[in-house]
Amino acid sequence: MAALRSHEPFRLEFMRLSEYKYKNYRFLGCSEGGVHTAMGLPQYKLLFDIGVGHTKLTDYQRLLLTHGHLDHSSGLAYYISQRALRRLDPPDIYCPPELADPLKRIFDIWAEIEGFEAGYNLHPVEYDRYYKIQGNVHFKAIPSIHRVPSNGYTILEKTRKLKEEFQDLPGHEIAVLKNKRNDLFYDHENPIVTFSGDTQIEFVLQNELVRRSKILFLECTYVDEKRPVERARQWGHIHLFEIAQHAEAFRDVERLFLIHFSPRYKQEVIIQQIKEILPDWLAEKTTPFLYSRDIRNVNPPARK
């Protein structure tokens, strides 16, 4: 191991954020099973989970929390407090309904400890409801399967489409019909990004919206035979073997980001296993979300 030069500050591994891009989407975050998971989407100014907290992630005003396990949620009080300190708008925090009361109790206690009441808006999610982000872009919470109350989230575009039986009609006839009846169009959902949180694989298998997502962030905690599939399932997690077994469910996904790998694995092992275990066509569109090799762009500059 190379010795640290005395003028270089020591950077803790877990403080690193990685940045990945797909087409014009950017993702800034970190994810390691049982350690920390947080993911920022700059173009929608929102976060999936907050992990253990990070100064860079307090910029995001909207937080979509998947569940209360501390590797996903322990940075909450810091996030709220930092935003208040920086005089930013109070955050909107969405969470599984069962979490709202206990979270509120925790925030009350932190306010007492800090001697300061930081503002926040807590929203227990309603499933099947569309929450507006901007324009025709919305998000929806989707129940997942874990050891505690949990859900994932899908960001989608909502459009109105003309029903097939009217598609051959000329424009002026449609205009006339539009005044007479209101059943010409149907709602179409175009899922852009889904973030699973921690879950069993049924989250994918049971939800068409998840399978149609252009970009899917999927938990994959275990990748080799040392941890059998059954054990992974008992703990409410996904094994890489299950993704291979259900590969067909991922046909429509354009980019599959795998997150939440157990820290027991070296990065090289994860990459190798993805290549070996998944069918080629799926491995090609799969990206393991790992520590970035070059962190200069996403971490504060080193002190001189």
Q: Residues interacting with Zn ion, by CB under 5 A?
A: 69, 71, 198
Secondary structure of residue 9 in the 3-state scheme:
coil
Are 273 and 240 in contact by the 8 Å Cβ rule? The answer is yes
Residue 69 or 83 with smaller CB distance to Zn ion: 69
Residue 241, CA atoms < 13 Å, CB-side half-sphere: 12
Q: How far is the CB of 236 from Zn ion (least distance, A)?
A: 7
Q: How far is the CB of 220 from Zn ion (least distance, A)?
A: 12
Are 210 and 203 in contact by the 8 Å Cβ rule? The answer is yes
54 contact partners, CB below 8 Å, separation of at least 6: 15, 17, 30, 38, 75
Q: How far is the CB of 81 from Zn ion (least distance, A)?
A: 23
Residue 51 or 156 with smaller CB distance to Zn ion: 51
Residue 18 or 81 with smaller CB distance to Zn ion: 18
Query: Which of 161, 160, 159, 162 has its CA nearest to residue 137?
Result: 159
Q: How far is the CB of 264 from Zn ion (least distance, A)?
A: 14
Residue 216 or 238 with smaller CB distance to Zn ion: 238
Helix (H) or strand (E) holding 59: none
Residue 69 or 227 with smaller CB distance to Zn ion: 69
Q: How far is the CB of 125 from Zn ion (least distance, A)?
A: 17
